[in-house]
Chains A and B, each alone.
Chain A
Amino acid sequence: MLTSAEWALAVTVFIAAIVELVETLTIVLAIGLTRGWRSTLTGVASALLALTAFTAIAGYSLATWLPEAALQLAVGALMLVFGLQWLRKAVLRSSGLKSLHDEEEEFRATTEAARKAGTDTRLGLDWFAFVVAFKGVFLEGVEIVFIVITFGLSADSMPVAVIAACAAAVVVLAAGVAIHKPLSNVPENTLKYVVGLLLATFGTYWSLEGLGIFSESNEPLSWLGDDWALVGLLVAWFALSRALVWHFRRQAPAATAPVPATQEV
């Protein structure tokens, strides 16, 4: 039976993985449908191999060499910076100061680029298709791996994090195979907002706990209310983000593009 913290972890990893995988699927579909599947899928398989190696090395190094408080500080700080970048973009999108991510548009742009690209054959592969598929899967995959490793190690629940990411992969892959086009109906901008909030929440919690590495005992610091502090942090980050959106919209209503209601949190 999962604890409430493990459920929170599973949901965060699942949503983050869905967001990244939807973007990956768009790239792979655009390249595969335009340039052919053999080189595209070879690129995908190579990227998955590289990701597996990266995961094994990064996960083993972090888990083996760092004491608990230092691990919480290191991964918490990384997660916090990473999460606040997501939250920043979400606030800018909700304020109308940054355009919303559009999978249809992304698909059109990638397809157009794939059509215009010349033919360069290396190792018997369409090199453009191979490289674009490899980069797309590897770069988006690194973000998933990063979230899985940081959450899994900090909460000491690596299997839950891995299963959540794999479940997201199955869902997106099944949907992609079934409809054979980008998953533009996924409320990606809202999901990104949620992931940004969750990463900022857990990042704050773990990084400040990890400051205990500098104390005489070297033990993690404690939060008022222990795990319940996570709820308080989530509410605080959400309230702050909404206040910023309200402030930016009020400041320049004329310059603010309307944001579709479905994309709002």
Chain B
Amino acid sequence: MDRIGRFVRGFGRFWYDFIVGDDPKIAIAVAVVLGLGAVLVGTAGATGVGVVAALAALLLVAFTVAMLVDVGASRRRG
């Protein structure tokens, strides 16, 4: 049982490291923007090219914020 638990933990850890990597802020930023997009498309019926372009711009902003927070935090830590 302990062996299975270790395998499951190891398996989960592997995929977390593989996809999320060192900085979970980026995965969170992408999830937030896509989640917002899902709400806009699903509830407001916003499917125009303008909405797609705006969400793309939001992804760029989200990445910028994640990078600035990341570098700022590591500089503060010294």
Residues of A within 8 A of B (CB): 73, 77-78, 80-82, 84-85, 87-88, 91-92, 95, 97, 142-143, 146, 204, 207-209, 211-212, 214-216, 221-224, 233, 236-237, 240, 244, 248, 252
Contact = CB atoms under 8 A, between A and B. Distances in A.
Q: Interface extent on B, as a size class?
A: 20 to 34
A208 B67 contact: no
A223 B18 CA distance: 29
Interface string B8-26: 0000000000111111001
Given A211-B41, A215-B42, A224-B53, A77 B34 contact: yes
A37 B29 CA distance: 45
Nearest to B26: A84
Contact of A78 (B19, B22, B60): B19
Nearest to B39: A214
Given A92-B71, A222-B52, 17 more contacts: A77-B30, A77-B34, A78-B19, A81-B30, A85-B26, A95-B71, A97-B71, A207-B34, A208-B34, A208-B56, A211-B38, A212-B47, A215-B42, A221-B41, A233-B56, A236-B60, A240-B63
Nearest to B57: A236
Contact of B64 (A208, A209, A233, A240): A240
Given A208-B55, A222-B49, A240 B60 contact: yes
Contacts of B18: 142-143, 146
Contacts of B59: 80, 204
A237 B63 CA distance: 10
Given A81-B20, A81-B30, A211-B34, A223 B41 contact: no
A169 to B, nearest CB: 20
B67 A211 contact: no
Contact of B47 (A215, A237, A244): A215
A208 B26 contact: no
Contact of A85 (B22, B55, B71): B22
Given A81-B30, A97-B71, A211 B37 contact: yes
Given A81-B26, A204-B56, A222-B49, A88 B41 contact: no
Could you tell me the dominant secondary structure of chain B's interface residues?
Answer: helix
Given A81-B27, A97-B71, A240-B64, A214 B34 contact: no
Contacts of A207: 30, 34
A111 B48 CA distance: 56
B76 to A, nearest CB: 12
11 contacts: A77-B30, A77-B31, A80-B59, A81-B27, A88-B63, A88-B67, A142-B18, A211-B52, A237-B60, A244-B67, A248-B71
Nearest to B23: A88
A252 B52 contact: no
Nearest to A95: B71
Contacts of B53: 223-224
A224 B30 contact: no
